[in-house]
Chains A and B, each alone.
Chain A
């Protein structure tokens, strides 16, 4: 008899039908009880999806800007003073094997830019003025938004090109003939405004003038303070190691070398603090969902005593009953989980498309969501299922 009894494992189709008895007979209730899990999973999938999508968007933007840009800036000496880069530094760097373009800017410490001379200059922070070489824009991956950039002629004249942020700060959004700004000792005529330079934020917030003009009109000493260079993509690392010594052979420690794209990548990788908050909220929703499912399952077991008793009379073992209710809870959980993944993926897609990012739903997000809902369903259904299985057949059938 025991051998025969052991054979009676239900087929999958029967299990599916049995575990959906409660869902089919009370659809609204089942839907509502799965809602908590759905919301929790949706929140988690959406947060992870959005953060992955925005990261993908940022990375593709960085790739478009190029990862082969290196910058060399002047550093501090041990005593704290600025150690100027030699005026020959750019030329020396240009000779390193693998370097394709070299451009420089030099901070004009003797001048700051203001909208007009009538401001209280002492109380107003002027914008940095930088001398800039003529082919700077392609190297820092930006272009002119309005007007023109400096050329061999205008580099000799008191004219300026504004970085995107600088233009905004000065309140200049269009180039008018005769538009000019004050540097404290000299008027500069504005001939152009740049688009944002994501890889070189220092340029964004600067007012650019030609090297000769800076020396002639603003008392600039001629030392570059930042050197921008593009290398062949396979030479980035080799060039990187040589830069400090080449730029300032006498004092290589007082030179900072950086790769702006890697800083941006690190930034893209950094998780926003808000992500943690939303993930926490999602987890709370999951917990509430678990309680909801457990609650519904306990009620369901109470309501379906006669069904349980009948099944026992028809020959169901305790294990059959336990499995039926446990799988019903798991099914409820999975139902919520699936709805949640769909909802989370849909909202991620909509938001990512509005931002022109590629939609990325990390595999861990949706598999994790489904796994969590499955585990939650099982955990929530365990006690009700054990209760159902413990019910004596007579108690279940004749206690109505």
Chain B
């Protein structure tokens, strides 16, 4: 896979950034700098008021807060789906404000994967086609998209349902398909908005375990939740209230270094995660 000409956006992070990884200071992937977001209306809603947050390479961050606190708004800014009213958002060091709409689209196509509470799968396409659509706008040829979609499905343990329709899957399976779609392009960043919100407790746990495994394989992941127990499990927890960050445990320390060993392997190709340390092993 690494010898293809298609963009493999994650790979710049691996070898080149290994210095910062070993030194403990993770290279910033997502930087939000004094961001404000005001929605026009009567009265205008200040969804974010001066949020600053830096997320480093390979981090798994849980953002938690009550309903209406601005979590989704923050995720939209980080995912370049929207622009801040004031302040700055940088993705892999590039200022979003300086980019045209088309370039932001390209950034999303190649560097950012989204996971949504409602999955958003195309019911009339097969599972493998849904996953392959994650690469559609990155300019990857059809054959390669399919091949990588099967690999991504393998990663989430759904390879045997590749030809099924989303309607034939359970909720948990659908979210796995959506996760595979977010991962198929090996994005540098995965943003998940309430990924377990539509799932029962046990299924939600399995999805979180999957996210954990992806994190251990080197992805930078932001998970939004209103459930503190879920956020508690994340290496880093950011609490948001009324559009402001009220608590941040900060980047995980040396405990996370152990996981960095896997970073080098990840961008060169997706592979099953069975061989990786299980999430229970982690402190």
Contacts and interface: CB of A to CB of B under 8 A. Distances in A.
A124 B170 CA distance: 93
Given A314-B136, A315-B105, A2 B124 contact: no
Interface stretch (A10-18, A128-136, A228-236, A339-347): A10-18
Given A11-B141, A313-B79, A313-B81, A5 B124 contact: no
Nearest to A320: B137
A387 to B, nearest CB: 16
B122 A318 contact: no
B136 A312 contact: no
A398 B72 contact: yes
B109 A8 contact: yes
B123 interface: yes
Interface in A350-400: 392-394, 397-398, 400
Q: How large is the interface on A (under 10, 10 to 19, 20 to 34, 35 or more residues)?
A: 20 to 34
Contact of A314 (B82, B102, B137): B137
Contacts of B82: 392-394
A24 B124 contact: yes
B138 interface: yes
A14 B146 CA distance: 13
Interface string A1-35: 11011011011011000000100110000000000
Contacts of B136: 10, 14, 314-316
A218 B99 CA distance: 105
A100 interface: no
A313 B114 contact: yes
Interface residues of B, number: 34
Interface in B84-121: 94, 99-103, 105-110, 114, 116, 118, 120
Contacts of B106: 1, 4-5, 8, 315, 317
A195 interface: no
Given A5-B102, A394-B76, A397-B116, A21 B122 contact: yes
A311 B130 CA distance: 11
B134 interface: yes
Given A2-B103, A394-B81, A315 B137 contact: yes
Nearest to B139: A8
Interface string B51-85: 00000000000000000000010001001011000
A173 interface: no
Contacts of A14: 136, 142
A390 to B, nearest CB: 11
A67 B7 CA distance: 74
B142 A21 contact: no
A311 B82 CA distance: 15
A2 B137 contact: no
A235 to B, nearest CB: 69
A330 to B, nearest CB: 20
A25 B122 CA distance: 10
B133 interface: yes
Contacts of A316: 105, 109, 136-137
A307 interface: yes
Contacts of A307: 120, 122
Interface hub of A4, A21, A313, A394 (most chain B Cβ within 10 A): A313
A207 to B, nearest CB: 77
Contacts of A5: 102-103, 105-106
Nearest to A7: B139
A311 B137 CA distance: 8
A306 interface: yes
Contacts of B107: 1, 315
Contacts of B100: 2
B102 to A, nearest CB: 5
B92 to A, nearest CB: 11
A310 interface: yes
B105 to A, nearest CB: 4
Contacts of B105: 5, 312, 315-318, 320
Contacts of B101: 317-318
Nearest to A10: B136
Given A2-B103, A312-B81, A317-B101, A8 B118 contact: no
A8 B103 contact: no
Contacts of A21: 122, 124
Contact of A11 (B114, B133, B142): B142
Given A313-B79, A392-B82, A394-B82, A400 B108 contact: no
Given A314-B134, A320-B137, A394-B82, 8 more contacts: A1-B106, A5-B106, A310-B116, A315-B108, A317-B102, A318-B102, A319-B102, A398-B76
**Top 8 nearest A-B pairs by Cβ distance?**
A315-B109, A315-B137, A5-B106, A317-B105, A393-B81, A310-B120, A315-B108, A8-B139
29 contacts: A1-B99, A1-B106, A1-B107, A2-B102, A5-B102, A7-B139, A8-B137, A8-B139, A11-B141, A14-B136, A21-B124, A24-B124, A307-B120, A312-B105, A313-B79, A313-B81, A314-B108, A314-B114, A314-B133, A314-B137, A315-B137, A317-B102, A317-B105, A320-B105, A392-B81, A394-B81, A394-B82, A397-B120, A398-B72
Interface of A: 1-2, 4-5, 7-8, 10-11, 13-14, 21, 24-25, 306-307, 309-320, 392-394, 397-398, 400
